[in-house]
Structure 1
Amino acid sequence: MPGVRRRPPANRTLTSQCTHHHVAVFLLTFFSYSLLHASRKTFSNVKVSISNQWTPFPHNNTSPSLQPNELWNNGHIFPDTRKATLFLGTLDTIFLFSYAVGLFISGIVGDRLNMRWVLSFGMCSSAVVVFVFGTVTEWLHFYNKWFYCFLWIVNGLLQSTGWPCVVAVMGNWFGKAGRGLVFGLWSACASVGNIFGAFLASSVLQYGYEYAFLVTASVQFAGGIIVFFGLVISPKEVGLPDVGEEGDGSAEEDVSEPLIGSSDDNDDNDDQNYSIQAADLSNSGSSSNARQPKAIGFFQACCLPGVILYSLAYACLKLVNYSFFFWLPLYLYDNFGWKEAEADELSIWYDVGGIIGGTIQGFISDKLQKRAPVLAVSLILAIASLLGYSRSPNDKLINAVLMAITGFFIGGPSNMISSAISADLGRQEMVKGSSEALATVTGIVDGTGSIGAAVGQSLVSLIHDKLEWMSVFYFFSLMIGLTVLFITPLIVNEIKMLRAERRLRRLAG
């Protein structure tokens, strides 16, 4: 029938388009964001050492002092470890808020400047700030909490350049065909960065926490230099067709048609849009070099279908996801009495579940050509997995299995929204042919999510202090429920579209 177009299998289209440039872009963006996350994990892993440095050491006041009193006490900016730990938590909150604000700005900047420059600058300058924060201050014996706050605000702003740029570059290179699977694998970069950062910190921590910051900052700075000289931000830079321009008409439709649609589309509109798009593509081939599309505005990006709803949903979901990242080891230590090292090792299984969940759910969404229904099913099961994990027995094997299942249903959707869905939102029908919407939309979605994560850390701390851990899990379940509520209109819309497509296929025979 005229209104029905056959879609080539996603995996076949993906493999036919893949070149060594695609592989290089995948690896460079993957490891660039992994290095940014590694520096954050390094800070988390050396908090005990920093807290000890910032508080007085117990010593016998009657014994002769081996050092001048000024030198002995110059690093003791807090009277006890409790206040030092609270300040370290404050630095986490400061970082998340500045990171969230920076995401809104970085998305706009990334769409207006060369994203390779923005990403490289963010990596290198953030490495310098981390080096000054952890290494230079210790070498110079300069300890000042206001200076630390200033550096961490700057670090949050600089690190925010990473995610919008890498998602936008990936969106430029990988079209809708197979995007869920590719982005599901690629979004493991944060978890890999956490593991890599823990390895770097633990390997040199015996020499002093300042060397952990030194090594991490050096590796990140080197990564920024490699990105500057090696990253190609779009296929057109190497003479390849842009996403949505390759292949014949049906292939182009499969690649460039967004997974975010409108339920009032009909067959006639589809045919009309398809013809117009084909004409636009044929004309743009000769004039692409002469006329570059303008970057979309911030408020225009907010008005794109699905952006606000997915941003609000991600704020609730990232709150839960990041709370597991920050609080899971402490929960295992408090609730089961396990050693801190054992709790840290066991908490890795949450990331493992998230990696597997993002990959499998992305693959399923590619097959369905719809994202929201897959998210809805996963999030409903996430509530059940949260309640099940909260009642885990004092057994490490059972706890690890339940933790991985929880990560599967929470971390998987989180990875999908922050990567594949953000790319879908930035390449919708009204911005087709303009990659300059990708970074802005990604910044809006992830920035809103980071605000939710920042607020959530304070709420979790308050609930845990006033009530108990079970109440924290009830709070997580409420946030997951709100996530489903925000995307309910999109779920209903995409289910209607699935039914309409199935009915058309039956009529077509």
Structure 2
Amino acid sequence: MEAAAAAPPPHGGPRAAARGAPARGLGRHEYAVLALTFASYAAFHASRKPPSIVKAALSTEWAPFSGARGPHRLGELDVAFLSAYALAMFAAGHLADRADLRRLLGAAMLASGAACAALGAAYFFDVHALAFFAAAQVASGVVQSAGWPCVVAVMGNWFGHASKRGTIMGVWNSHTSVGNIAGSVLAAAVLEFGWGWSFLVPAFVIAALGVVVLVFLVAHPSEAGLEVQAMEIEMNGDGGEEVELLGEDKKEAQANEHDGLELELEMGSQLPRAIGFLEAWRLPGVAPFAFCLFFSKLVAYTFLYWLPFYIRNNAVAGQFLSHKASGILSIVFDIGGVLGGISAGFLSDAIGARAVTSVLFLFLSIPALIVYRTYGSLSMHHNIGLMFLSGYFVNGPYSLITTAVATDLGTQDAIKGNSRALATVSAIIDGTGSVGAALGPLLTGYISTRGWNSVFFMLIVSISLAILFLIRLAKDEIVTKLSTRS
């Protein structure tokens, strides 16, 4: 890894490369960034998975989660994490647009490992106080909130101008499902030794990867002395000029611009200011997609936190599965989610319509959930196939909105490609979605006591509301497409 010629701005804002350094291809560095950010956020999700895997065990053998009020308290434990995560997310996005992304992400991963390990320690120290579990979950939510704005900002720095952004982001965003799968397998594999180990193993993984991030992550091409092809740099002068660095030789680029431009860029004096929180909310498309994600993520996180519990308490072909088998079987939903996210990204690139793609997947997820609830218990084959289908359609729009859509909105023409808006916009969208993610598992803890049909009805209503928020944008996309063809 090459060091930057001069100290980069906090998260590597746009600037020219060092004097005399030729523009080079970014392939090797891009692959490294993809791998590190993918592994980082997969580790975040893996460390969130243990609570869902150990739910059934806690509800039968560990006070204060055993007994009639056990599901309520387990739901409250979920909301402790998710509400803290959602509230802290808005501040984390604001911070990520101003901080050193490598250090912030690495520190968040180390702190997340410590919080996850604290929950596991409760088993070994025989802790039964609800307040301890709630406090550990709140701490975990706060430190994990920095993860998403950081990885999205890093990806935006390297791939913000990619023509196939939806496909790239769709494949990359499979880290969510891959992390869920890895967390489920790790937590379920060691559950028989005591549920505390289900927390300690993922805690070690995310902490170890945090060290790797601190040592190796390059948050912006400028930190490696590179220029990004087709990177637009806005000038703050009266003329409002824009400069495009097209990977040309340094001297040729200088010949096309006035003499003071290079000095200003290298001094960082022309970096765009970080966008304000309320200003980001007013950007076109931000509010509709944010509120759509509120309901979409409510559904996705209900499955994330309650699916193993649901499988454990609903017979498949007349037989109830063990805690371990239920946890491992639940990964089928996430496998469907991987392909759903990739498919949604590819389709949205192909038709050039993010809202239409999201509405399509949301609409098809309604019959998928109805069929899974109705026929999933007939046999193991029915359960696996219908669970896969549900994960495919539920996670498709969730994946698309949190990645490609957030990047689109954070680099749109309304802010002239201001890269320092990306973390704030992505935090607003994912933070709003995380409020819904907190509400879903909490409601499920109460509604499930009345029967699982009521839970699925709540999920279908949520999906319907998510569709409503995007109807206008989807209509505009269709009208635009038709008008360009005529």
TM-score by length of 1: 0.79
2:308 to 329, 336, 352: 329
**Could you report, residue by residue, the CA deviation over 1:194-240 in whole angstroms, capped at 9, with x for unpaired residues?**
22223333444444333443332222111111111111111222233
What residue is the counterpart of 1:271 in the other structure? none
What residue is the counterpart of 1:154 in the other structure? 139
What residue is the counterpart of 2:41 in the other structure? 33
Is residue 90 of structure 1 aligned with residue 76 of structure 2?
Answer: yes
Q: CA deviation at 1:139?
A: 4.8
* Structure 1 counterpart of 2:48, one-letter code: R
Tell me if structure 1 keeps the 8 A contact 2:358–2:397.
Answer: yes
Tell me if structure 2 keeps the 8 A contact 1:54–1:84.
Answer: no
**Structure 1 pair 161–27 and aligned structure 2 pair: CA distance change class (3 A):** same
2:214 to 220, 228, 237: 228
What residue is the counterpart of 1:296 in the other structure? 275
What residue is the counterpart of 1:338 in the other structure? 320
- How far apart, in 2, do the equivalents of 1:173 and 1:152 lie? 33
Q: CA deviation at 1:398?
A: 2.2
* Structure 1 counterpart of 2:350, one-letter code: K
1:452 to 436, 441, 449: 436
What residue is the counterpart of 1:189 in the other structure? 175
Q: CA deviation at 1:113?
A: 0.6
- How far apart, in 1, do the equivalents of 2:264 and 2:369 lie? 54
Q: CA deviation at 1:165?
A: 0.9
Q: CA deviation at 1:351?
A: 1.2
Q: CA deviation at 1:415?
A: 0.5
Q: CA deviation at 1:31?
A: 0.7
What residue is the counterpart of 2:427 in the other structure? 443
- How far apart, in 1, do the equivalents of 2:277 and 2:163 lie? 27
Q: CA deviation at 1:49?
A: 5.0
What residue is the counterpart of 2:392 in the other structure? 408
Q: CA deviation at 1:180?
A: 0.9
Tell me if structure 1 keeps the 8 A contact 2:291–2:469.
Answer: yes
- How far apart, in 2, do the equivalents of 1:347 and 1:202 lie? 11
Tell me if structure 2 keeps the 8 A contact 1:234–1:242.
Answer: no
Greater Cα shift, 283-292 or 389-398: 283-292
1:170 to 142, 149, 155: 155
* Structure 1 counterpart of 2:372, one-letter code: Y
What residue is the counterpart of 2:366 in the other structure? 383
**Could you report, residue by residue, the CA deviation over 1:113-133 in whole angstroms, capped at 9, with x for unpaired residues?**
111111111111121222233
What residue is the counterpart of 1:6 in the other structure? none
SS in 2 for 1:301: helix
What residue is the counterpart of 2:166 in the other structure? 180
What residue is the counterpart of 1:311 in the other structure? 290
Where structure 1 has 5 or more consecutive residues not aligned to the other structure, the ranges are: 1-15, 56-77, 247-251, 257-274, 504-509
Q: CA deviation at 1:384?
A: 2.4
SS in 1 for 2:283: coil
What residue is the counterpart of 2:27 in the other structure? 19
What residue is the counterpart of 1:470 in the other structure? 453
**Structure 1 pair 228–301 and aligned structure 2 pair: CA distance change class (3 A):** same
Tell me if structure 2 keeps the 8 A contact 1:104–1:447.
Answer: yes
Q: CA deviation at 1:18?
A: 5.5
- How far apart, in 2, do the equivalents of 1:118 and 1:234 lie? 14
Structure possessing the higher radius of gyration over alpha carbons: 1
Q: CA deviation at 1:20?
A: 1.0
Tell me if structure 2 keeps the 8 A contact 1:358–1:411.
Answer: yes
- How far apart, in 1, do the equivalents of 2:462 and 2:110 lie? 36
Greater Cα shift, 86-95 or 120-129: 86-95
* Structure 2 counterpart of 1:215, one-letter code: V
- How far apart, in 1, do the equivalents of 2:222 and 2:469 lie? 37
Greater Cα shift, 307-316 or 356-365: 356-365
**Could you report, residue by residue, the CA deviation over 1:381-412 in whole angstroms, capped at 9, with x for unpaired residues?**
22222223232151221232222222222111
What residue is the counterpart of 1:245 in the other structure? 231
Tell me if structure 2 keeps the 8 A contact 1:116–1:228.
Answer: yes
Is residue 125 of structure 1 aligned with residue 111 of structure 2?
Answer: yes
Bigger share in helix: 1
What residue is the counterpart of 2:4 in the other structure? none
What residue is the counterpart of 2:53 in the other structure? 45
- How far apart, in 2, do the equivalents of 1:472 and 1:85 lie? 13
- How far apart, in 1, do the equivalents of 2:454 and 2:195 lie? 35
SS in 1 for 2:219: coil
Is residue 112 of structure 1 aligned with residue 98 of structure 2?
Answer: yes
**Could you report, residue by residue, the CA deviation over 1:418-447 in whole angstroms, capped at 9, with x for unpaired residues?**
111111111111323422111111111111
Tell me if structure 1 keeps the 8 A contact 2:297–2:437.
Answer: yes
Tell me if structure 2 keeps the 8 A contact 1:172–1:243.
Answer: no
* Structure 2 counterpart of 1:294, one-letter code: R
1:359 to 342, 355, 363: 342
- How far apart, in 1, do the equivalents of 2:193 and 2:367 lie? 45
**Structure 1 pair 79–351 and aligned structure 2 pair: CA distance change class (3 A):** closer
Identity %: 38
**Structure 1 pair 140–469 and aligned structure 2 pair: CA distance change class (3 A):** closer
SS in 1 for 2:273: coil
- How far apart, in 1, do the equivalents of 2:134 and 2:346 lie? 42
**Could you report, residue by residue, the CA deviation over 1:15-72 in whole angstroms, capped at 9, with x for unpaired residues?**
x9760111111110111111111111123323455566644xxxxxxxxxxxxxxxxx
TM-score by length of 2: 0.83
Tell me if structure 1 keeps the 8 A contact 2:231–2:244.
Answer: no
- How far apart, in 2, do the equivalents of 1:209 and 1:147 lie? 16
* Structure 2 counterpart of 1:144, one-letter code: A
- How far apart, in 2, do the equivalents of 1:177 and 1:286 lie? 30
2:205 to 210, 213, 219: 219
Q: CA deviation at 1:141?
A: 4.8
**Structure 1 pair 384–285 and aligned structure 2 pair: CA distance change class (3 A):** farther
- How far apart, in 2, do the equivalents of 1:133 and 1:474 lie? 32
**Could you report, residue by residue, the CA deviation over 1:74-93 in whole angstroms, capped at 9, with x for unpaired residues?**
xxxx4954445543332111
- How far apart, in 2, do the equivalents of 1:285 and 1:384 lie? 57
Tell me if structure 2 keeps the 8 A contact 1:42–1:213.
Answer: yes
CA-based RMSD of the aligned residues comes to 2.7
**Could you report, residue by residue, the CA deviation over 1:244-288 in whole angstroms, capped at 9, with x for unpaired residues?**
428xxxxx9xxx9xxxxxxxxxxxxxxxxxx97755767676643
Please list, as runs of the form range in 1=range in 2, the aligned pairs for 1:247-262 lying within 5 A after superposition: none
Greater Cα shift, 217-226 or 103-112: 217-226
Tell me if structure 2 keeps the 8 A contact 1:176–1:424.
Answer: no
* Structure 2 counterpart of 1:20, one-letter code: R
